[in-house]
Structure 1
């Protein structure tokens, strides 16, 4: 059961607040993304709390045109979890489970923002994620996801972009529990396993409903975690028992160029992703700014990515999101056009798709 307290970074276990342990890898995290329909603007923000490492970090990245501007920050938590600000970046809960604010204050790198997320749909509690590496639990967390729209402004690269909910929509999530954070474990479980992860996440919004789809597949191509939810503006929430996705890739990579989700209720969603946003910009897979690293009392970093120059599928650029045009066809043939984001991360073997190495690409 989700409660208003779940929008604050005070979790202690992978359960919602209503339920209490400790683990070195425990985390509590905010994530946001927003995008314009034409793909010109795409931003993402994250703030993570790691109570047993005594670290808090945050990041904000925005792609305007072909350039992605990224600012990242890390500080010692000092055991105060309610002070959700790291350097110039902060997250405010204005109305739990409905309205949140992300601010990037003035800084030497010239990237600032003040944006407000407002939920269009109620937050959805996804199925709890559990995953072991041999005897060791490496993932055990809960996540809530909420579709919505953004108002506010972003300044980066000398450009100002002002917007409201008619122009920029997106999604936000909150997750908490256990996953690999901070410095790598010096003694991992035996026998050692080849790193493998194959993941798609597609939140999308249509005229009278939203869709939340996710799937994790193992090295054999079998799904070990998946969820498909349709959230109607009327308030009805449909949890679909079965759903699959078929994806076509940019040759030589694992970046999607199209996809089709087929749900057990007869719904089909055709996906056409646009320009990529590289998740390394907000710390994911970034070798210097991985989540939970101890970078001292306060550290701030900045870089820029010329997105169209990234053509080789290799770390840290293998993890991407993309603004995506989506076409929903119901079982009775009705069609709605919408917008969403298409997140993908694939590394390691995948027998069904023919991947054998860590990040070899496809020929199709």
Structure 2
């Protein structure tokens, strides 16, 4: 089947663009987040394409003060991957690798937005992620990540937030490849394994540079995927090594502080603030998980009183926090900035003493 994408020189296989290899779990996704310097505004957006499920879905969430407003939408893809709109939510590429637009059209739920992302840094290609569960490949994807700033406005819950001179910055990524989507496989690989995933992601910006740090660890606390990148305003891009020490809120796995130490001696101290719950844009959400067939078109809306979420249990175990950040160079110079502190920890982790699916820190 020929589609609009076939008129662009972007083919990766001998087949039309409508087909993406043969893995049922192939996906292609946009992700954005942004936050004001005072942490009072925090938003995130995602749009995913699942060619072999013939589904496209999208979501937008914004936390204003202590309330997070979420709108989610899903539709049948009809094999046309170039129409990046789902219900009232759409993503536009204004200038590839530099400027993108998020639009939430007016709708009955009173949440709308018109936001433009502009890259401060070039997009960074992260190391390819591959992960198996026994013989089965469960992750095999590539991601690009880019730090930038936002202009535009958001309306939700009766609030009308114009970015104007307000400093709103953040990060966006594009990932594509294979990971679990849609309904669970009725026949899991054997022997059965306890679900386990331990991850931190910290994109942050400072006066003359930005940092992109990520790490995945297994149940023994051994790192199996990591990346530390410093992107300077003068064009230098430095790839190095880094590690993170984290303290947790008692009874949870939500970080209360963190320190990233880089191989050159640079230190970044993180002070997380208000949380944004990723269930608002479909991650781990029982009703709006990515790739679920909701019919030809479905739209959903809800609100989360974030300060009322005190128990660490699904679907709230996956969160991002606005974070104040202090960078200290090996020479002792400091810069203050801010960014986001993303954490997802489930299952055992020997280093932190976790033994169950979502038991928390002892204090």
TM tier relative to shorter chain: over 0.9
Q: 1:11 to 1:251 in 2, by over 3 A?
A: farther
| In structure 1, distance between residues paired with 2:94 and 2:228 | 29
| In structure 2, distance between residues paired with 1:195 and 1:62 | 29
| In structure 2, distance between residues paired with 1:134 and 1:11 | 32
| In structure 2, distance between residues paired with 1:83 and 1:170 | 25
- Tell me the residue number matched to 2:318: 319
1:73-115 Cα offsets, whole Å, 9 max, x none, are 0000000000000000000000000000000001110000000
Q: What are structure 2's unaligned runs of at least 5 residues? A: none
| In structure 2, distance between residues paired with 1:337 and 1:220 | 34
| In structure 2, distance between residues paired with 1:167 and 1:338 | 12
Alignment of 1:28-39 (within 5 A): 28-39=28-39
Number of residue-to-residue matches in the alignment: 351
Question: Normalized against structure 2, the TM-score is what?
Answer: 0.95
Alignment of 1:213-362 (within 5 A): 213-240=213-240, 242-362=241-361
- Show structure 1 runs of 4+ deviating over 2 A: 10-13
Q: 1:149 to 1:121 in 2, by over 3 A?
A: same
Does 1:60 pair with 2:60?
yes
Report the alpha carbon displacement of residue 352 of structure 1 after superposing the two structures with TM.
Answer: 1.1
- Tell me the residue number matched to 2:153: 153
Q: 1:282 to 1:227 in 2, by over 3 A?
A: same
- Kindly indicate whether the alpha-carbon contact (under 8 Å) linking 1:12 and 1:21 is maintained by their aligned counterparts in 2: no
Q: What are structure 1's unaligned runs of at least 5 residues? A: none
Alignment of 1:101-140 (within 5 A): 101-140=101-140
Alignment of 1:178-193 (within 5 A): 178-193=178-193
| In structure 1, distance between residues paired with 2:34 and 2:312 | 24
Report the alpha carbon displacement of residue 21 of structure 1 after superposing the two structures with TM.
Answer: 2.7
